[in-house]
Amino acid sequence: MPGRLDKALKWRNGATPFLDTTLVLAPAPACVATLPNRKLPDRADFTRYGNDLAARVKA
């Protein structure tokens, strides 16, 4: 099944039988708007906050 880290592998992208029973959960935009920085945490937070662990954990 294609995954997030497979984006560069074009041969892994496309419909598969696994997608027939896949359920995607995503927060409502109104919920995300209440989060710090109005976004979900992501990998860029590690570079954004660097060694400031307290700020990263707070966000």
pLDDT digit string, tens, across residues 11-41 = 666 677 877 888 989 999 999 999 988 998 8
The fraction of the chain above a pLDDT of 90, given in percent, is: 19
pLDDT at 26: 92
The fraction of the chain above a pLDDT of 70, given in percent, is: 80
pLDDT at 44: 87
Give the start-to-end residue ranges of the domains of the chain. Answer: 23-59
For 2, residues 6+ apart whose C-beta sits below 8 A from its C-beta are 12, 13, 14, 16
* In the predicted structure, residue 52 carries a pLDDT above the cut 60: yes
Contact 40, 27 (CB under 8 A): yes
